[in-house]
Amino acid sequence: MAKRERDPICEVCGHCHVQGVKCSICGHVGKYIVPGGPNRPNRGAVPPVPPGPLHKPNRTPPTIEGLTVGSFQQALQSFFDLLPQAAGQILPPEMCNLDQLKVLLDTLPDYHSTDEQPSYVMAIECRPVVRALAQLMPGYPAWQHVNWLALEPTEMT
């Protein structure tokens, strides 16, 4: 992943890199320090939306309307459970970085399962992952509660 303008400074190694992605300087994979203690947010706490460059700020809503953390975690776990059966099949681009998706899955228990799913977890954009999971597993029950119109990509202006 290319370095973007204004990547956050990691609270652990002190380098400027996207959290949840290996630091190109020291190899560390960090986590955001969030309210409620070490990586345990208070109920309702939402991790920050990466700001984007100054000329093109990120206007993504902070949460995914209608989807809980627990439902997203179950869907992502189901994806990993079914992955061996999909050997040889082409995955959507949003689902190809398995290391990053595994970091995402491993981090979700840090959040309250009944809270609305954040749009970003450790600077990993969750909205494209939700859309790709819905294409791969269209009958998943949690999808009926998602506000799909609000999930469409937002224009950065």
Listed residue (2, 130, 153) closest to 74, CA to CA = 130
Q: Considering only 4-8, 50-54, 94-98, 103-107, which range has the smallest mean pLDDT?
A: 4-8
pLDDT in tens, 58-108: 888 889 999 999 999 999 999 999 998 877 888 999 999 998 999 899 889
Residue 54 token pair: 């100054």
pLDDT in tens, 18-44: 666 667 777 766 655 444 444 455 566
CA gap 136, 76 in Å, rounded: 11
Q: What is the pTM of this model?
A: 0.70
Tell me if residue 143 falls in helix, strand or coil.
helix
